[in-house]
Each structure stands twice: as structure tokens, then as C-alpha cells.
Structure 1
Amino acid sequence: MNLENKLIVITGVSSGIGLATAQVLLEKGAFVVGWGRRPGPIKHPNFSFAEVDVRKQAAVERAYQETVERAGRPVSVLVNNAGLGKQGLFEEQSVEDWHLMFDTNVHGLFYCTRVVLPEMKKQEEGHIINIVSLAGLNGVEKASGYCATKFAVRGMSQSLYKEVREFGVKVSCIYPGSVNTNFFSDFQNSTAPENMMQPEDIASTILHVLQSPPNYHHIDIEVRPLRPKGKPQASK
């Protein structure tokens, strides 16, 4: 896809992967609208922000209408990046945290994707990119709730792409390992920050996926740090 003048929506744009992705896509001439609770630091003539809690269907629908009316064009790309995780043993996971993760990671993604799809199908062009996690491929102890949400996104995405591919709409999932964002601040025993990937690394993958030829479809992309434990110490 030629990204110049395309309207792109990114959720969770205030920091981390969302922020880095917005900056890369703005450099390519796209119009980027961030959906989220905090606007973040971006100052660019082609960037705007819509305050929205993706957990609320009505709020997402309002943000969509405001976005397309203001831009005067349909949404060509949606990057579902907003997400959160709460660590805890299964029997100790609070019901509130369980619902918070599902409301954000699954229901929010559903609401956002649902509003952009009809126009993408009509235009016969569109791309949904879901930022998942390796936790959507493998269970992780003390993260059953988070893994459950990411497994749900994986199943939803693989079903959806088979529904919309004949309309020229792509659905891609990216499964990062540890990325140096504030996501891991509440997780114990995570990879040391200096050994993690950077948000800009994931943004470069998103750019590569979006710029692929029209008949070339990335379904699932798994990315990891090459040396998650750092460079081995030389033996004495």
C-alpha cells in the first residue's frame, strides 16, 4: 500500500509501540489519528488525537465518526495496539483485573475493528494490524488472564482474515517478544530492558507489512530479541 495521504488510526498512541509507529507512518506522508486516553507528545500537521476509551463501544463509534468527518476520507489502516496485562497466579487473579484485560485487549479490539471494516470492504482496500504477543502463542505462568486475551485475539484475527480477504482487506498479527516499553514495569522476572527490542523495531515491521504488494499478505509475524539474556560473557 502506498501510505501517502492514507488515513491511519492507531490505538494506544501515547507511548511505546504506538508512538513509534505513528512517527514512522507520518514520515511516509500518512494522516495519523491516535485513539486513546492520553494524547502523547506528537506535534505534526498530519497528526490528530481523539480521546476515547476503547473499552466503550459508544465511545469508539463516536471517535470513528469524528475521525472520518474531520479527515474527509475513509480509514485505510487500523493498528490495534492498545493493551495491558496484569500478573498473578490463576486462583489469585482478581475478577476486576480479568475483566479489565478482556475489556481492553479483546472487546476494545473488536469495537475498533468492527467500525472500520464496512468502509474498507466497500473501498476494496484496507489493513488491520493487531499487536498481539508471544503470550498469544504460548502459555506463561502467572499470566493466564493476559495469555487468554491474546489467544482470543489470535483466533479472532485468523477467522477474520478469511472473511475479508476476498474484499481486498488484510488482517495481520505481530507477535513481539519483550519490547522496552512500560508494559513490563509490573511484571516480575521479565527480560532486562537493555536486552529487549525497541518500539522502533516493531514500528519498522509494521511499516514493512503495510508496504507489501497488494496480493501479498502477512498473516502472522513472530519477532524476538536475538539475545534476550545479553551477550554471553567470555570464559576465563
Structure 2
Amino acid sequence: MDLTGKVAIVTGVSSGIGRATAEALLAHGAAVAGWGRHAPEGLDHDRFQFFECDVRDEHAVAEAFTNTQRELGPEVHVLVNNAGLGIFGPIDGFKSEDWHTMFDTNVNGLFYCTRAVLPQMKKQHEGHIINIASLAGTAGTANLAGYCATKYAVRGFSDALFKELRPDGIRVTCVMPGSVETHFNGKEPGPEPDPTKMQPQDIADAIVHALEAPQATMISEMQLRPTNVK
């Protein structure tokens, strides 16, 4: 897909992979609707518009989509389901509210956003949905059982969805990064890039690569790992 003039929605746009993806899409000529609870500081571009949206609330998602179409036009070509969070800890001490918060954001929110865009994408017979999962969706890790469960769900949803939507000309890609230097789990990126972690821009570049693949080619899954290890 040539991204020039296309409309893309990016969830969880305030920081990390979401912000980097919005910036990469803008650099490739797209108009970007950034959805999130907080606006990204300093992201000022004539083709970027922020819409406040908590993806856990299906009514908020529907409203954000209506506002996006009103401001950027009816066509929507790209959805990047990036909003997500991880809460770690052993299951026997895990809070039910934390479990529900992760599933409401990582799984239910992704469903609400996907459902919102599909009628328009089907009408266009064109669209590309990017779901940000994790390598935690490929192998379990101690004290990450809840987070892994959500990302396994994202991967399974993505696999079924691409098969469902192929006849409609809509592509689906599940992106599964390993260690990325972000504020994930409350961590602060250091003053210098960590050579053993990928940067948000690296994931954004991979997303653009998948989007710009020839129309006859669908990259259904991407696993991304740091080249250098500790």
C-alpha cells in the first residue's frame, strides 16, 4: 500500500511504539488519527489529529471513530491496534482488577477498535489492520501468565481474522516484538539507547514495511527480536 494520502488510526499514541508509529506514518505521507487517553506531547503536524479515547470503553471507541471520519473523511485505510499494558506477578497473588484491566485493554479494546473500522474497510475493499502482540504470545513466562494470556489471545484473534477478511481485500498483520525500550511496566528509558533492546522506531519501521508490501503479499506475522543479547 502506498501510504501517501491514506488515513491511519493508531491507538495508544501518547508514547512508545504508538507515537513512533504515528511519526513513521506521517513521514510516509499518511494522515494519522491518534487515539489515546493522553495526547502525545510535542507531536504537532498538519496531518495529525488527536482523539481522546479509552479503548476499554466501546462507546468511547465508537465516538472516536465517528469523530475521525468527520474530521479526516469517511475512508480509513490502516488501523494499528497498539494500546496495551502489562501487569506482572504470580497468579496466586494477582488482583482480579489487574487481570480485568489487562484483558479489557489488550483484548477487548482491540476487538472494539477492529469492529469499528471493518464496515468501512469492507465497503472500500481495502484496508490493513496491524495488531501489536508480543513474543509473550508465543511462549509462556513465569510471573507473566496474565500478560501472556492476553497476547496469546491477540495472536489467535489475528490469525482467525486474516483468514476471515482475505475475501474482502483486507490484510491483517500480527506484530510480535521482544524487548523494546519504552515505559512498559513503569520502566524509564535510559539517557542512551540500550543496545540489548529494540527502539520504538524499529517496530514502527517494521510496521511500515508490512503496510507497504505489494498488494498481492500479506505479511501475516512478524516476530522481532534484538540482535544483541545481554
Between the aligned partners of 2:83 and 2:67, the Cα distance in structure 1 is 19
Which residue in 1 is equivalent to 2:156?
155
Which residue in 2 is equivalent to 1:38?
38
The alpha carbon displacement at 1:73 in A equals: 2.9
TM-score relative to the length of structure 2: 0.95
Kindly report the root-mean-square deviation, in angstroms, between the aligned alpha carbons of the 2 structures. Answer: 1.3
Name which of structure 1's ranges 103-112 and 13-22 shifts more when overlaid on structure 2.
13-22
SS of aligned partner of 2:77: strand
The alpha carbon displacement at 1:186 in A equals: 5.7
Larger radius of gyration: 1
After TM superposition, what 4+ stretches of structure 1 lie above 2 angstroms from structure 2?
184-187
2:213 corresponds to 1:208: no
Aligned residues: 225
- 1:170-213: CA deviation from partner (whole Å, max 9, x where unpaired): 010010000000004369xxxx9441100010011001000011
Which residue in 1 is equivalent to 2:112?
111
Which residue in 2 is equivalent to 1:233?
none
Which residue in 2 is equivalent to 1:5?
5
Between the aligned partners of 1:215 and 1:167, the Cα distance in structure 2 is 13
Unaligned 5+ runs, structure 1: 230-236
Alignment of 1:69-218 (within 5 A): 69-185=70-186, 193-218=194-219
Name which of structure 1's ranges 33-42 and 99-108 shifts more when overlaid on structure 2.
33-42
Between the aligned partners of 1:14 and 1:140, the Cα distance in structure 2 is 28
Between the aligned partners of 1:175 and 1:67, the Cα distance in structure 2 is 27
Which residue in 2 is equivalent to 1:234?
none
Cα contact 1:87–1:186 (8 A) shared by 2: no
Between the aligned partners of 1:160 and 1:79, the Cα distance in structure 2 is 14
TM-score relative to the length of structure 1: 0.93
Q: Which amino acid aligns with 1:22?
A: A
Between the aligned partners of 1:224 and 1:185, the Cα distance in structure 2 is 21
How much identity, in percent, do the aligned residues show? 53
Between the aligned partners of 1:145 and 1:20, the Cα distance in structure 2 is 26
Unaligned 5+ runs, structure 2: none
SS of aligned partner of 1:48: strand
The alpha carbon displacement at 1:155 in A equals: 0.7
Q: Which amino acid aligns with 1:132?
A: A
- 1:85-116: CA deviation from partner (whole Å, max 9, x where unpaired): 00100111110100000000000000000000
SS of aligned partner of 1:75: coil
Between the aligned partners of 2:30 and 2:55, the Cα distance in structure 1 is 22
Cα contact 2:8–2:76 (8 A) shared by 1: yes
Cα contact 2:181–2:198 (8 A) shared by 1: yes
